């Protein structure tokens, strides 16, 4: 097994990367942040929140992301007049022991002056981080998320269940694994509830899926298209089960919401559908919004299963791309870390591909760049949401 090592943080968590986060606190500061990070874009990643109006979810998400174990230092870029509470964010980062600087464009002298100051700060921070030694790290200290995007009829046959096999091995080794997309678990609530660690948690899992069904019904979201039937899917629960297969077969230890850090190893469902009235539109407007939420809950890396062929990566946390469709793999192989399409063609078994994904997780954690990482993908998106805290039955004792 690959020996792991990580960057030890003051809260005891360990990072598998040592990135500088350059965070814009409103869209108006986005260009300046991008220009600051550009000369060192492999190590300095741009994250941020575009909205000018306050949102406690976004504040929490940015606090969690800026203190993510893969982040070693943070530069905050403020326009100056936005509502985002930069003082509180800077305090949280400083309290985590990380170097942090706040640049306010309106005070620093505008675009060019802020870029110059920011680039100098990033260079200094990177030089500091370069001297940080890695310490031994166990598989049980890893947090791994999974998403599927650009799905087709093959996703539920190959990539998703193979990712589930890898999740089973990770959970058995003591890691914390997160699956999500409660809107695509409609029909899975009974079998999912049977896997809950406690009867109370079973009730919470069911309630999360029921909330998602109500939410999507209000949006008028059609989760079953004619193309699904052409690909051989007959019912919504069949489609859901394909996505659900990513969760593997382990007992479900808990239910978390974005930003909640799993308290110990095990398998966790992330409830991504906002609480309360339908307010800000679709829960997650694109795949990276899901990845960002799992990072906010501490995910060191994400397994991304795709049938049609998504090419995205992510800022801060590597993405391992798993191709479900053999025909797509042939076209986009340079973007794909794992060819699960060989399960479809009969050249590999779920167990063999699951083992390969597990091994790739360890190699990625040990420092090997993923395909998307090596090509500079560092996508990021964060939008408005509202959540209530999770209930007492949601986390393991």
Partner 1 sequence: MSDPATDDRLLLLSPADNVLVARAPIAAGERIWLDGRQLTVGAALSMGHKLARRAIAAGDSVVKYGAVIGTATADIAPGAHVHLHNLRSNYTATYALDAPAGGTP
**List 183, 187, 318, 354, residue binding partner 1 (CB under 8 A):** 187
Distance of closest approach, residue 190 Cβ to partner 1, in angstroms: 8
The distance of closest approach from Cβ of residue 211 to partner 1 in the complex, given in angstroms and rounded to an integer, is 15
Count of beta carbons in the 10 Å neighbourhood of residue 112: 11
Q: Does 241 bind partner 1 (CB under 8 A)?
A: yes
Cα dihedral: 50, 62, 22, 105 (round 10): 50
Is residue 345 involved in binding partner 1 (CB under 8 A)? yes
166 binds partner 1 (CB under 8 A): no
3-class secondary-structure state, position 263: coil
Q: Which one among 70, 154, 288, 370 touches partner 1, defined by CB under 8 A? A: 154
Q: 53, 349, 375, 386: which one contacts partner 1 (CB under 8 A)?
A: 349
Position 150 contacts partner 1 (CB under 8 A) = no
d(CA 76, CA 25): 7
Which residues, numbered 26-45, are part of the site for partner 1 (CB under 8 A)? none
By the rule CB under 8 A, 191 interacts with partner 1: yes
Segment contacting partner 1 by CB under 8 A, of 8-16, 116-124, 293-301, 338-346: 338-346
Which of residues 220 and 389 has its CB atom nearest to partner 1 in the complex?
220
- 153 contributes a contact to partner 1 by CB under 8 A: yes
Quick check: 232 binds partner 1 (CB under 8 A)? yes
Give the C-alpha separation, 254 to 198, whole Å: 9
C-beta closer to partner 1: residue 241 or 267: 241
What string of H, E and C letters represents the secondary structure of 147-198? Answer: EECCCCCCCCCCHHHHHHHHHHHHHHCCCEEEECCHHHCCCCHHHHHHCECC
The tally of CA atoms less than 13 A away on the side-chain side of residue 224 is 15
Q: Compute the least distance from the CB of residue 213 to partner 1, in Å.
A: 8
Mask for 277-306, x = binds partner 1 (CB under 8 A): ------------------------------
The residue among 326, 283, 276, 279 whose CA lies nearest residue 306 is: 326
Q: How near is the Cβ of 281 to partner 1 at its closest, in Å? A: 22
Should residue 229 be labelled a site residue for partner 1 when binding is judged by CB under 8 A?
yes
Kindly state the number of chain residues that form the binding site for partner 1, as judged by CB under 8 A: 33
Q: Write the DSSP assignment of 84-139 as a string of letters.
A: S-HHHHHHHHHHTT--EEEEEHHHHTSHHHHHHHHHHHHHHHHHHHHTPPPEEE-G
Site string for partner 1, 94-133 (x = CB under 8 A): ----------------------------------------
261 belongs to the binding site for partner 1 (CB under 8 A): no
Which part of the chain contacts partner 1 (CB under 8 A), choosing from 11-19, 79-87, 329-337, 343-351? 343-351
Q: How far apart are CA 107 and CA 113, in angstroms?
A: 10
218 binds partner 1 (CB under 8 A): no
Specify the DSSP element, H or E, that contains 7.
Answer: strand 4-8
Among 116, 126, 193, 236, binds partner 1 (CB under 8 A): 236
- Among 38, 80, 224, 366, which residue sits at the site for partner 1 (rule: CB under 8 A)? 224
CA 320 to chain centre: 11
Exactly one of 128, 132, 234, 386 binds partner 1 (CB under 8 A); which one? 234
Q: How far apart are CA 6 and CA 294, in angstroms?
A: 19
Cβ contact 291:145 at 8 Å: yes
Least separation in angstroms between CB 342 and partner 1 = 10
Q: Which of 69, 220, 245 is nearest to 156 (CA)?
A: 245
Three-state DSSP state, 310: coil
**Site for partner 1 contains 163 (CB under 8 A):** no
Interface residue with partner 1, options 12, 220, 222, 376 (CB under 8 A): 222
CA atoms of 9 and 232, how far apart (whole Å): 48
> Taking a C-beta distance cutoff of 8 angstroms, is the pair 218, 277 a contact?
no
Q: Where are the alpha helices (DSSP H) in the chain?
A: 30-37, 56-66, 86-95, 105-108, 111-130, 159-172, 189-194, 199-219, 226-230, 236-244, 287-296, 326-332, 341-344, 350-365, 371-374
- Summarize as ranges the residues that interact with partner 1 (CB under 8 A): 152-154, 156-157, 161, 186-188, 191, 222, 224, 226, 229-238, 241-242, 244-245, 343-346, 349-350
């Amino acid at each position: 097994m690959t020996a792991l090592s990580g960057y030890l943080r003051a809260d005891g968590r360990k990072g598998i990367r040592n990135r500088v986060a350059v965070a814009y606190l409103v869209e108006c500061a986005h260009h300046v942040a991008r220009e600051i990070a550009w000369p060192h874009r492999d190590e300095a990643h741009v994250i941020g929140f575009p909205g000018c109006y306050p949102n406690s979810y976004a504040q929490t998400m940015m606090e969690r992301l800026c203190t993510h174990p893969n982040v070693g230092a943070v530069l905050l870029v403020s326009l100056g007049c936005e509502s985002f509470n930069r003082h509180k964010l800077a305090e949280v980062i400083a309290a985590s022991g990380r170097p942090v600087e706040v640049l306010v464009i309106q005070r620093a002298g505008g675009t060019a002056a802020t870029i110059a100051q920011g680039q100098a700060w990033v260079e200094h921070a990177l030089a500091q981080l370069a001297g940080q030694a890695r310490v031994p790290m166990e598989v049980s200290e890893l947090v791994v998320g999974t998403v599927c995007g650009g799905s087709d009829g093959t996703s539920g046959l190959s990539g998703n269940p193979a990712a589930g096999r890898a999740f089973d091995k990770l959970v058995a080794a003591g890691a914390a694994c997160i699956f999500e997309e409660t809107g695509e678990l409609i029909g899975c609530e009974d079998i999912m509830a049977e896997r809950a660690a406690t009867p109370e948690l079973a009730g919470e899992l069911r309630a999360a899926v029921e909330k998602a069904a109500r939410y999507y019904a209000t949006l008028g979201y059609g989760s079953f298209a004619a193309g699904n039937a052409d690909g051989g899917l007959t019912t919504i629960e069949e489609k859901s089960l394909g996505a659900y297969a990513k969760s593997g077969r382990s007992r479900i230890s808990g239910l978390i919401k974005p930003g909640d850090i799993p308290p110990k190893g095990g398998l966790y469902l992330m409830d991504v559908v906002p609480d309360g009235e339908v307010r800000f539109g679709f829960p997650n407007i694109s795949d990276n919004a899901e990845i960002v939420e799992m990072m906010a809950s501490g995910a060191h890396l994400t397994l991304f299963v795709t049938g049609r062929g998504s090419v995205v990566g992510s800022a801060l946390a590597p993405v391992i791309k798993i191709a479900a469709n053999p025909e797509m793999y042939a076209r986009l192989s340079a973007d794909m870390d794992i060819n699960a399409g060989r399960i479809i063609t009969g050249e590999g078994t779920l167990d063999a591909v699951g083992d390969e994904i597990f091994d790739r997780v360890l190699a990625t954690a040990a420092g090997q760049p993923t395909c998307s990482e090596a090509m500079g993908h560092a996508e990021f998106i964060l939008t408005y949401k509202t959540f209530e805290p999770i209930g007492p039955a949601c986390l393991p004792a």
